[in-house]
Amino acid sequence: MNTVTLGGTATINDLVSVARFGAKVAFSKEYEERVNHCRAHVDRFSHEGKAIYGLTTGLGDNWKKFIPEKDRETIQRNNIYAHTCAVGEPIAEECTRAMMFVMLCHFGSSHTGIRLETLALIRDMLNAGISPVVPSHGSVGYLTLEGHIGMVMIGEGKATYQGETLDGAEALERAGLKPVVLSSKEGLILLSGTTSVTAFASLAIYDAQATLAIELNSSVDNPLIFDEEDGGAVALMGCNADGTYAGMASDNLCIAITDLCKMSNSRIDRLLNSLVSELPAFLNKNADFNNGLMMIQYASAGLQGELRILAHPAVVDNLTTCANQEDYVNMGYNAVKKAYDSMHLAKYILAAELICDGQALDCYEDKRCAKGTQAIYDLLRSKVPEMDNDMPLTPYLEAVAQQIIDRAYIRTVEASVGALKF
């Protein structure tokens, strides 16, 4: 059986090998060293008593509450309990295994501070075939599904093992494994991130790639000509032009773009809302006769409204054509056209956010910032001046949007701080 060794760059094929085909997982020396290195920082922070979210404090509004060192294990266990609230039928076992593999990839970076022994338990559960029972509904993209995996890791919850559904503790015991007692930050680590999203998307993309590879190398004409054994040929009539699967990928791209811009619009609101930012309302530096960037949010909101409409899937629609000869049409073109249009609307929302970012920085007396941020600010200011008074914004939105399409901001940052990893 194949073994996937973590430490370098994991691939979608690696995930599928483990999640679907049962490949084993191993850690490289580099992987173990970077995990231990980062954990040493967490242990030091913990002992020093620094106020660090989720490490020495509570979560959410409880971030103001300092957690004594003696209570850290209790609060991390409680974090798992509190977030274990998904409902409904369980997700497929390969999806659970994919989530666990993503956990090993994400948490095994050099930045989370999880302990190696905690990651080793996830690895050993995968290798032993222990799959936590994870209900499929109630996630907003993180937290709840992951909580059910965490429950088995601490010896609670439910898991399948060798065809049986067992209590988490019994499943671990039968496989010769022991539950883990979560230490500082670890409960939060298990819950956070894009674990389920990345796992499900990776499986879907793997299947989509296989489908698109078939489509790319297919004959899609009507009729199609086939040789016969006697040296003749036959023409077979039938509609072989089905763009549904390419359309599905494009529909998903529209949704992804819309979600990206949703986050951008939220950040715009935070910058312009003085109750949140504690900056001048609408980043207006001269309020007597000016509106500041109030209306740029209206434009961005209007663009977001258009994106929401475009995010509606096209390939699910159907019309009968040609006197019912073609009783199924794929709407693939509509989907890919939507994706193209979505991309060009999105550039203006991102441009609006960049303009707000620059104006927000100008509201501070001390404008010092990191090298990469400074590079972005300087590039922005090459097209958009600091705004002390109202001015037409359309030319600046167009100019910054073009910079985005040209990848100018990425090139500028990379020239300043080195190559970015995507």
Q: Where are the domains of the chain?
A: 3-201, 244-417
pTM of the model: 0.72
pLDDT at 194: 87
3-201 with 244-417: one CATH topology?
no
Q: Which parts of the chain register pLDDT below 70?
A: 1, 239-240, 422
Alpha-carbon distance of 72 to 269, in angstroms, equals 35
Instruction: Answer whether 251's CB lies under 8 Å from 244's CB.
Output: no
Partners of 66 in beta bridges = 57
pLDDT at 1: 65
pLDDT at 239: 65
Question: In the chain, what are the helix, strand and coil shares in percent, each to the nearest 5?
Answer: 55, 10, 35
Structure tokens at 233: 């040929």
pLDDT at 378: 97
- Other C-beta atoms closer than 10 Å to the C-beta of 422 total 4
pLDDT at 60: 82
CATH class of 244-417: mainly alpha
Q: Is 377 helix (H, G, I), strand (E, B) or coil?
A: helix
Report strand pairing: 3-6 vs 87-90.
unpaired
Angle at the Cα of 199 from the Cα atoms of 132 and 346, rounded to 5 degrees: 145
For domain 3-201, give the fold.
Answer: Fumarase C; Chain B, domain 1 (1.10.275)
Alpha-carbon distance of 78 to 350, in angstroms, equals 39
Q: What DSSP element (H or E) covers 236?
A: strand 233-236
pLDDT at 422: 64
Q: What are phi and psi of 81, to 5 degrees?
A: -55, -50
